[in-house]
Amino acid sequence: MPRRRTPTAALLVAALAAGAVTAGGCGGASGPPKDLTKASAAQILQASADAVGKVHSFHIAGTIHDADGTTTIAADVTDAGGISATYADRDGSHAVIVARGRAYVKADRRFWLSGRAPTASARKLAALLGGRWVKLPAARSASIAKDLEHLLPRELAHCLPHGVGTLTKVGVRTEGGRPVMVIRDAGDVPGGAPGLLSVPLHGRILPLREQQTGPARAGGSFDPRCDDRTDTSTSSDATLSAYDAVPPVTPPADALDLEHLPQQPPGGGIGLGGGLSA
């Protein structure tokens, strides 16, 4: 597995998607294997990458452990670029929506005060924004949408075969009440990390569970679509579900527009918290 992209705060959603096991390799087959018990690990991974690249939407949920602690995430993703995500870490719980080219954040007062001196005006504005959906400025929205592209099906398909080590088949298990085939990436190459991938034993060979089981090694080729040079993750566990069943993501109703608030504190505005500050 490659060095997982580790954006801060709201962007940790992308971290899990790009950062769970990325075992893969060239399958060498003209189509997906019909019997996974007879297919190689490389064939299964390539088939899984091909399959996820063709879906229109999915749901992802899980946890990640890194130098900042533990983060829990859940997100609905569509191939049109719509993303609705929630996450919780040591700094609290927050939500992010990307829809129609703009990003929206819903968080508590502490989030909006992060990185700023707690002046009276900043506290007043944080009180106004806390617990409300807030529409972010166009430039910040574009930056967040660009970072969250790593969650899109086509990007997952690209990153699944990237930076893998020795691949082996663990075998058939039961997860979530259904039989799955599990494959292991030893993470024994520069830039790789060990992990597991579970796919259905029958039907479309889509990723159902992705796990990172150890930290990444140093070195390796760098792919900006998949990797992060500052990754500190030691483990992660994510489940993917609701393929092609997620409804379109739409902007939240009655969101406050950060660009048109009647009052801004001195110094160019409040902090956008968790890596979202301008």
Model confidence over 160-217: pLDDT tens digits? 888 899 999 999 999 989 999 999 999 999 988 999 999 999 999 999 999 999 998 8
Q: What pLDDT was estimated at residue 277?
A: 36
Q: What pLDDT was estimated at residue 48?
A: 96
Q: What pLDDT was estimated at residue 262?
A: 62
Q: What pLDDT was estimated at residue 278?
A: 30
DSSP character at residue 127? H
Cα–Cα distance measured from residue 83 to residue 151, given in angstroms and rounded to the nearest whole number: 9
Q: What are phi and psi of 160, to 5 degrees?
A: -55, -45
CA angle 233–24–192, rounded 5-degree value: 30
Question: What's the distance, Cα to Cα, between the start and end of the chain in Å?
Answer: 31
Q: What are the residue ranges spanned by the domains of the chain?
A: 1-267
Cα–Cα distance measured from residue 278 to residue 264, given in angstroms and rounded to the nearest whole number: 14
- Counting Cα atoms < 13 Å in the Cβ hemisphere of 257 gives 5
Q: What pLDDT was estimated at residue 115?
A: 67
Full-model pTM: 0.84
Question: Which residue numbers in the chain have pLDDT < 50?
Answer: 1-29, 265-271, 273-278
Q: What pLDDT was estimated at residue 274?
A: 43
CATH number of the 1-267 domain:
2.50.20.20
